[in-house]
Each structure stands twice: as structure tokens, then as C-alpha cells.
């Protein structure tokens, strides 16, 4: 092992889009950053994502607040990073097959509009103007012009490059360095030690494993999903289009298989088809049943796809937390440890706001949003015999010493 002690303010564990955003905003705040990942850039969930930047699928609340903040930040990043990230502000279209479904969409959109989401109801006879190849007979839909898309692996790579962070790829974090008082002060990989005043856990689906290295519980679970990729086509799908039941699937905590049609075109030509969700651990088995269901649902929504060849399918694991909110910010149980994981299928869209809030906490600045809903200690944990079980839910404030206050350990 090569033992080195570079001068860093923060080490980010994870080179996916969330980790890259944390590195970018921390560096922009003047911090010296290193990023460590056991694989390549975007080698985990990011590389298996569709690149969705969505407000359309989120109920009013903390996650939607995070998404709305990220919407503006992604526009800024797209201007800075340039066309290489394939940012497309193409908007989303959610459609309902029957009047009852449209009524539910209408109520959902009204609640979203009350908190700043742009949502326009589209009558059935106006749907072809937005999507000429949609199936006939739909009851109507809602158009969300704030929805957008990026190419996720490219976005992560360019964010990381723009951060200027030192990168240590292909290195597994084996332990966290701690001070005599138990504060986290760096990482130990299988090649080196990195000293820093803070460590950010942006390990995605494996965020629970990193938290365990610090002796704390973070119940991140994998939720498997598949995506079909068609042959390159002319732009026959203009927006991100999905059926109304997708919203319910996103909000569901069911471990069972759920599929709902999500269809979108890409600048390169292939159409991406999702989305499925199931909790099967880290089982990477290719499920023919899932692929058939996704293809059938997409063809029902866009009949023109029935004769189109599927070139490949890929799968990934969404980092799922039980209440569907990510863990973002300082862990009040362990000084020096910060979390930026558990975003489930929304990590690409929520990455900029997550990175910004992490950087703000690292530098002792007020955060753009209230960090309380994203606390890592909000989940009940088994209490040792003879202790109060409520401690995990009522721990100290997440507001603590910043990186600039503590200095390097």
C-alpha cells in the first residue's frame, strides 16, 4: 500500500453523478477535493440511468423542492459544460388512458402548480400536436415543460473534470480514518490513505456499506430496474412520455415487480424504454418477463414501435431508502461524515442541488433548502438493551462545525 497524506479539505466516495456534483460545488466553494471510487466514473447506478431530470413525477414536499432547485442548476451547468452532456430541455408528457386517470393527473398537477411546477393540461384532441405517434383514444395528459434530460455518464465525467478534483479510480475504500474523539478525518483505500477534514458518502446503492464503516446505520437498499434501447430512429418521440401509473410506481415501497411505460428519444436516435422496479438484492439476472412487459407497454403507448428492433437492454440498481428521500448532509452521529446518497431513480436530476447543499454545509454556509428532511439519522434503529429507542429520531442538530471551522485533522 502506498501511504500518502495529501492536503484535502474533503474526500468524496463515489464518482457517479451525485459524487461528481458534490466535488464540483465543493471545489467551486474553494475546497480542495479528492474523489475515490472502486470503479470508473459513472460505473454504478449513473451509468445505468436514462438521464432524467424530472419534476413531473414528484409530490409537493422535500424531494420536489430539491428537484426544482436542481432544475435551475442544471440549466446553469448545461451552459458551462456545453453540448457534450447532451442536455435537452424537451419537457415531459404524462398521459392517462381513461377519464378517471386524467382526473387523478389533474389533481396531482394542481398540487404541483401550487409550489412552482409548470404543468399544463392537454386535452385528448391536442395530444397529437405534441406527440404525433401516440396511440389514439387516450383521455388526455399533462405537459411539464421543466422536465429535461442529460446523458448521465457524460454529465458525471464533465462535472468531475470541471471540479479539478484529484481522482483515485479503481480504488476501494476499506476504512475511514478517525481522530481520537471518533471524528472522520479521511479514508483508507487498498492503495493509499487520504487525510481530509470531511468525507462525503456518495456511494449510491452502496452508501449503507460506507456508513457502516463509520459505525452508523443507513438503510440503503438496491431496487433493480431495466431499460430497453431500440435501434437508431428518426425523432419519433419528442418528449419524455409516460403513463400516469408511473407516478404511483415511483412512490411505492413495494418489493414486488412493477412496470409502467416510460418512453423517450435521444439525440443519437435510439429510443429508451423503461421503467421497472423490484427489490431483488443485487441480482443481475436478465429478466425476460420484465423486458417483455416493458416492450408491450411501450408499444401500447406508441404503436409505431411495434416493428422496431431492440438492440440491447441494460440494468442497474437504484439506491432506495424506505421513505423515498435521499440522505443529504452532515451525519449528526459522526463528526466529519456527510451523506449524499439514497436518491433512488432521481439521483441524476437531484445531483446539483445535493452537491450545492453539501458544499454549503462543508463551508458553514446557510443551505438553499432545509436539511432536516434529509437527515441520515431519521430512520429508527434497533436500540441496545436498556436504552431509549427514540434517540435515533431525536439526535443533535445537523448544523455543526464546517470544514473551514475544523481545519484538517
More confidently predicted of 154 and 395: 154
pLDDT at residue 149 greater than cutoff 80: yes
Residues 337/214, Cβ–Cβ less than 8 Å? yes
| Predicted local distance difference test score (pLDDT) of residue 384 | 57
Radius of gyration over every alpha carbon of the chain, rounded to an integer in angstroms: 21
Q: Where are the domains of the chain?
A: 8-47+153-220+324-406, 92-145, 221-319
**Which pLDDT tens digit goes with each residue over 94-145?**
999 999 999 999 999 999 999 999 999 999 999 999 999 999 999 999 999 9
Count CB atoms within 10 A of the CB of residue 26. 29
Q: Residue 338: how many CA atoms within 13 Å on its side-chain side?
A: 40
* Ramachandran class of 138: left when φ > 0, alpha when ψ lies in -120 to 50, beta otherwise: beta
Distance CA 92, CA 271 (A): 15
- Closest by CA to 138, choosing from 260, 300, 272, 306, is 300
Q: Which three cell numbers stand for residue 138?
A: 387516450
Strand partners, 175: 188
Instruction: Give the mean model confidence (pLDDT) for residues 404-409.
Output: 33
Record: fold of 221-319: D-Amino Acid Oxidase; Chain A, domain 2 (3.30.9)
pLDDT category of residue 237 using cuts at 50, 70 and 90: very high
**Which pLDDT tens digit goes with each residue over 289-338?**
899 999 999 999 999 999 999 999 988 999 999 999 999 999 999 999 99
Distance CA 132, CA 237 (A): 8
CA angle centred on 20, ends 17 and 22, rounded to 5°: 110
Instruction: Give the mean model confidence (pLDDT) for residues 349-366.
Output: 98
Residues 367/312, Cβ–Cβ less than 8 Å? no
**Which pLDDT tens digit goes with each residue over 175-229?**
999 999 999 999 999 999 999 999 999 999 999 999 999 999 999 999 999 999 9
Cell 412520455 sits at which residue? 241
- Closest by CA to 350, choosing from 32, 40, 46, is 46
Residues 204/346, Cβ–Cβ less than 8 Å? no
| Predicted local distance difference test score (pLDDT) of residue 277 | 84
Composition of the chain by helix, strand, coil, percent to 5:
35, 25, 40
pLDDT at residue 169 greater than cutoff 50: yes
Question: 8-47+153-220+324-406: what CATH class?
Answer: alpha beta
Q: Which three cell numbers stand for residue 183?
A: 471524528
Residues of the chain above pLDDT 70, percent: 89
pLDDT at residue 38 greater than cutoff 80: yes
Residues 344/387, Cβ–Cβ less than 8 Å? no
Q: What is the 3-state secondary structure (H, E, C) of 4-30?
A: CCCCEEEEEECCCHHHHHHHHHHHHCC
* Ramachandran class of 112: left when φ > 0, alpha when ψ lies in -120 to 50, beta otherwise: alpha
Amino acid at each position: 500500500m502506498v501511504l500518502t497524506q495529501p492536503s484535502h479539505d474533503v474526500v468524496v466516495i463515489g464518482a457517479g453523478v451525485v459524487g461528481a456534483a458534490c466535488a464540483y460545488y465543493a471545489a467551486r466553494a474553494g475546497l480542495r477535493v479528492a474523489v475515490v471510487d472502486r470503479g470508473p466514473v459513472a460505473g454504478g447506478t449513473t451509468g445505468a440511468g436514462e438521464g432524467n431530470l424530472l419534476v413531473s413525477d414528484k409530490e409537493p414536499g422535500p424531494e420536489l423542492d430539491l428537484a426544482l432547485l436542481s432544475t435551475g442548476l442544471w440549466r446553469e451547468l448545461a451552459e458551462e459544460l456545453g453540448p457534450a452532456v447532451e442536455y435537452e430541455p424537451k419537457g415531459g408528457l404524462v398521459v392517462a388512458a381513461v377519464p378517471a386517470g386524467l382526473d387523478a393527473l389533474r389533481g396531482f398537477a394542481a398540487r404541483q402548480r401550487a409550489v412552482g411546477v409548470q404543468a399544463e393540461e392537454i386535452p385528448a384532441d391536442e395530444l397529437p400536436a405534441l406527440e404525433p405517434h401516440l396511440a389514439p383514444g387516450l383521455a388526455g395528459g399533462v405537459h411539464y415543460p421543466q422536465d429535461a434530460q442529460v446523458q448521465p455518464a457524460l454529465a458525471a465525467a464533465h462535472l468531475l473534470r470541471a471540479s479539478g478534483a484529484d481522482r483515485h479510480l479503481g480504488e476501494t475504500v476499506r476504512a475511514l480514518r478517525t481522530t481520537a474523539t471518533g471524528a472522520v478525518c479521511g479514508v483508507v483505500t487498498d492503495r493509499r490513505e487520504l487525510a481530509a477534514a470531511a468525507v462525503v458518502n456518495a456511494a449510491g446503492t452502496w452508501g449503507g456499506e460506507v456508513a457502516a464503516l463509520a459505525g452508523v446505520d443507513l438503510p440503503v437498499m438496491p431496487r433493480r430496474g431495466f431499460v430497453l434501447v431500440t435501434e437508431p430512429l428518426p425523432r419519433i418521440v419528442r418528449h419524455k412520455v409516460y403513463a400516469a401509473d408511473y407516478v404511483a410506481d415511483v412512490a411505492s415501497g413495494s418489493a414486488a415487480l412493477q412496470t409502467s411505460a416510460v418512453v423517450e428519444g435521444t439525440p443519437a436516435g435510439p429510443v429508451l424504454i423503461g421503467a421497472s422496479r423490484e427489490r431483488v438484492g443485487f441480482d443481475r439476472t436478465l429478466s425476460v418477463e420484465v423486458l417483455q412487459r416493458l416492450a408491450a407497454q411501450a408499444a401500447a403507448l406508441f404503436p409505431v414501435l411495434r416493428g422496431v428492433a431492440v438492440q440491447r437492454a441494460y440494468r442497474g440498481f437504484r439506491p432506495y431508502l424506505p421513505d423515498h428521500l435521499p440522505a443529504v448532509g452532515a451525519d449528526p452521529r459522526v463528526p466529519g461524515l456527510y451523506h449524499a446518497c439514497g436518491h433512488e431513480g432521481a439521483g441524476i436530476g437531484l445531483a446539483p442541488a445535493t452537491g450545492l447543499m453539501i458544499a454549503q454545509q462543508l463551508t458553514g454556509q446557510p443551505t438553499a433548502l432545509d436539511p432536516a428532511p434529509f437527515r441520515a439519522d431519521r430512520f429508527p434503529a434497533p436500540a441496545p438493551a436498556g436504552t431509549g429507542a427514540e434517540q435515533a429520531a431525536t439526535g443533535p442538530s445537523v448544523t455543526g462545525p464546517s470544514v473551514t471551522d475544523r481545519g484538517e485533522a
